[in-house]
Amino acid sequence: MLQTRQEPIADDRKILVIEDSRTFSLALRQFLEAETGLPVTTCGSLKDLSELIVAAPGAYAIAVVDLNLPDAPRGEALDWTVTHGIPSVVFTATFDLATRGRIMEREVIDYVLKDNELALPNLVGTVKRALDNRNTRILVVDDTRTTRKVLARMLAIQQYAVVEAGSGQEALAMLDANPDIQLVVSDYYMPDMDGFELARRIRRLHPKVRLLGISSSTDRKTSAGFLKAGAHDFVSRPFVLEELQCRIASNVETLAQLKQLQDLAARDFLTGLFNRRHFFENGRRLVDEARAMGVPVSIAILDIDHFKRLNDRHGHDGGDKALMAVARSLSASAERGFNLLARFGGEEFAILFPGADLDEAVRLCDGIRETIARESQALGDEALALTVSLGVAEIGPDDELDASLNRADRALYSAKQKGRNRVDTAAA
């Protein structure tokens, strides 16, 4: 399908903070709203909490719960949030093994201790991770249904999106059908193939997916077997719940860091748009997908008019501001649907329009040109009106992307020769 990226899951709900210290509650509210973008509702007692939940059931995406309140000294506030289905993070100054047991048996996301100066940022980080976990799909593979359900439930409490498979073959089929699966948690013993073989196949067929092996085997070589087969981590059964949670969170964090690095490598540093390399790597795929679906596809080259004159007059800083202004306008008007937008270098940008024939692409480009011409960019004390020229070509059934790009470039040259601030088309 013609989709270049997965959009994050939107949530219009609130964060609920239950904390009796007004000073700490205010600081936490400001920190959470700044870091998550979600509104925060605060209360300082079990009475206020019960009234809020009854008045607006389903309004809260996550709760931060102080374990000990004046009218709820034994974690009664946590009972309220958990009973009403609100994912909860516990924040407590009182902690021992008995308290830990009471917290964990209530199926909370995590607990954070009020024991050092990093407590507040640690708490906010825990909330952010839990919210982000909803964008991470994990596949649990185990042929024993009860064991599989227990593990899936633990992951669901952590807010991950969870799917399940009862065999190796079913797991591979799930991976083929769900390309958004990012992590596989697999048992070793399965009837059709063991965890080693599944790890090898995943590594070969789905190299971007991470795998964590689990086994109750007493053979200490099992962990080495998983890792040598391609797994990224291993946990022995019976596992300590918090250890498993930490290992999964660590692998998810690694995935996020890899994605960030890949995104940085694909982006132009100045404008934040995709770069020339990303355009070619993904443009050919989009063209092939459009052809397979039987829809047209066109390409355009855009160039800022008189850019050298602008640079000479306002310096490179002025030129950079003009480039960023055009990039912002293009992001708003061209980077939508399945379109692929990139900065090619200098003052030149490229746009791929899957689903648009030549006439439609010209109409879209003319709208882009008019939008940019209407806007002005402040350079010092001067308001500078920018204009752009565009060349457009339709990519035929047998055309290569490079050849079509060259035709669009010739059309761009023609547009400049005819006076600039216009759209011209390439001859077939």
pLDDT digits (tens, 9 = 90+) for 366-375: 999 999 998 8
What's the angle, vertex CA 50, arms to CA 45 and CA 56, rounded to 5?
Answer: 125
**CA distances to 159, 248, 270, 290 from 284, in Å:** 36, 35, 25, 10
| Percent of the chain clearing pLDDT 70 (strictly above) | 96
| Domains, the chain | 14-130 (3.40.50.2300), 136-266 (3.40.50.2300), 276-425 (3.30.70.270)
Name the H helices within 206-240: 221-229
Write down the pLDDT at residue 27: 92
Residues identified as active-site: 347
> Please, which contacts does 196-204 make with residues 24 or more away whose CB atoms are closer than 8 Å?
196/225, 196/226, 196/229, 197/168, 197/229, 198/141, 198/168, 198/171, 198/172, 199/226, 199/229, 199/230, 199/231, 200/229, 200/230, 201/168, 201/172, 202/171, 202/172, 202/175, 202/230, 203/229, 203/230
Write down the pLDDT at residue 96: 75
Cβ neighbours of 388 (radius 10 Å): 26
Give the range among 31-35, 247-251, 335-339, 357-361 with minimum mean pLDDT: 335-339
Six-digit token string for 151: 């593990």
Q: Is residue 75 over pLDDT 80? A: yes
Q: Is residue 345 over pLDDT 50? A: yes
**CA distances to 296, 339, 418 from 350, in Å:** 17, 10, 20
C-alpha span between 321 and 379 (Å, rounded): 8
Write down the pLDDT at residue 286: 93
Q: Is residue 199 over pLDDT 70? A: yes
Give the range among 134-138, 286-290, 292-296, 337-341 with minimum mean pLDDT: 337-341
C-alpha span between 300 and 141 (Å, rounded): 46
Q: Is residue 257 over pLDDT 70? A: yes
Write down the pLDDT at residue 9: 45
Write down the pLDDT at residue 147: 92
Write down the pLDDT at residue 11: 63
C-alpha span between 416 and 391 (Å, rounded): 9
Question: Average of pLDDT values for 179-193?
Answer: 93
Q: Is residue 47 over pLDDT 70? A: yes
Write down the pLDDT at residue 324: 92
C-alpha span between 94 and 88 (Å, rounded): 17
Give the range among 159-173, 210-224, 333-347, 384-398 with minimum mean pLDDT: 333-347
Question: Average of pLDDT values for 387-416?
Answer: 94
Q: Is residue 183 over pLDDT 90? A: yes
